[in-house]
Amino acid sequence: MTRTSPPRKGNVAAVTAVCLTGMLSVTALTLDGGLLMQKRRDVQVAADAAALAGAADLYWNWYTNFGRNDTTDQTARKAAVAAAAANGYTDGVNGATVSVRILPTSGPFASVAGHVEVVITGTQQRFFSRMFGSDDVVYGARAVARGKRGGINNGIIVLAPTGKGAYTIGGGASMSLTGAPMLVNSTDSAAMYANGGGSSTANAFYVGGSPGWTTAGGGTFNGLGGTAAAIYSGSPPTPDPLANLPPPDPSKLASFNSVHQSGNKTTTLDPGVYRGGITATGGDLILNPGIYYMDGGGFSISGSANLTANGVMIYSDPKGTNDKITIAGQGTMTMSPPTTGPYQGVLFFENRTSTAPVNISGSNGVNWSITGTFYAASAALSVSGNGTQNTIGAQYISYTLDISGNGTVNIAWSPDNTPGVREVWLVE
């Protein structure tokens, strides 16, 4: 006798209901979860953009606020808030909150100057996931960006990638670099060459070649404090740290004819474009603070001319190799670079494609006080000291460097009198 199972009424409906619940749960998580992930990406983009906008403002106003945005107009904060709004998040609108903190209050950069922290939150309405609750879902993102001028922590940078004697010192000259090390990119085994009693002193030398240095005729490389010099051979090359520094725009400067001063008189000049350059062989030449653009002709101070030029940046755009930057003679020289703006710390800036040489030559007994950076990315920089010299520059960045004479050349690097590089990027 065949037995049959009793009918099970309602089983299909129950199983279907259970399965539908699971299917709807998966659907809710997939659809609402997908929307939430998209919102999460959007808010992170907005937070990143806002932090970078605030950091860019901190960088631009570094020498006013030093990364703290202490001014009453709070420009960095406003820049961050505007960037958040441009990306769809305005504080108090549609449930969003936008918090900008200068300085950060949490994380590894808490209370560190030059950093912006942005926290943005938003709310996402539930759709299929209402089966789990009715409250909106809160999402958010955080970003921290750095905005500051970082120092170029080398007192001398010789950019030539190859060649013997990319840095040369001789003739009894003595070079003393304080505050920062020296770097020579050349991969030649004798990239640094000291001869004829030439003496170089720094806390460290970094050179691309191996061993990268050689001496002859009593030349030496010394460390500070009378210790042996630390020479690091095979060092990786350093790109031009000022490669992105834009040249001045001559169309935005006043225009003047060339100046050729001689005799015993006093001339005061204003910033601007000097078509044919500036030359002085006598008298007193005074440059008011600002940018001086040499449109050909070079910049030459020699003979008995005295020069006073504080807060200036000399930009030379040579039309030929004779359009040189030359500082020489028996006159008094007082020069310092701008202390604010994009050319902060830069005293001489030659068109970075020009090979016109830059020559600095001091005489025994003269009173020189020259600070700032000498920048000639494609040119030879020659510095000659005779007798005991005062400071001649705070930093040299050139294609090659030659130091000669029978005196001392002092280079006093400091972050306060040399240019900074742009540091604007996300750190968290």
Residues 6+ apart with CB under 8 A from 382: 357, 358, 359, 360, 361, 401, 402, 403, 404
Annotated domain spans of the chain: 16-150, 156-421
Angstrom distance (rounded) from CA 68 to CA 130: 45
Angstrom distance (rounded) from CA 354 to CA 385: 25
Torsions phi, psi for 130 (to 5 deg): -60, -20
Angstrom distance (rounded) from CA 17 to CA 132: 17
pLDDT in tens, the chain (428 residues): 555 556 555 565 555 555 555 555 555 556 656 676 777 888 899 999 999 999 998 888 876 777 876 565 688 999 999 999 999 999 999 888 999 999 899 999 998 989 999 999 988 766 555 555 566 778 889 999 999 877 788 999 999 999 999 999 998 899 999 999 999 999 999 999 999 899 999 989 999 999 999 999 899 999 877 777 889 999 999 999 998 888 999 999 999 999 999 989 999 999 999 999 999 999 999 999 999 999 999 999 999 999 999 999 999 999 998 999 999 988 899 999 998 888 989 999 999 999 999 999 877 667 788 999 999 999 999 998 776 656 789 999 999 999 998 888 889 998 777 887 778 889 99
Give the three-class secondary structure for 348: strand
Residues 6+ apart with CB under 8 A from 416: none
Angstrom distance (rounded) from CA 163 to CA 137: 65
Provide the strand spans (E) within 319-387: 325-327, 333-336, 346-350, 358-361, 368-370, 373-385
Angstrom distance (rounded) from CA 343 to CA 86: 31
Residues 6+ apart with CB under 8 A from 394: 155, 345, 371, 372, 373, 411, 412, 413, 414, 417, 418
Inter-CA distances, 11 with 15, 25, 182, Å: 6, 21, 86
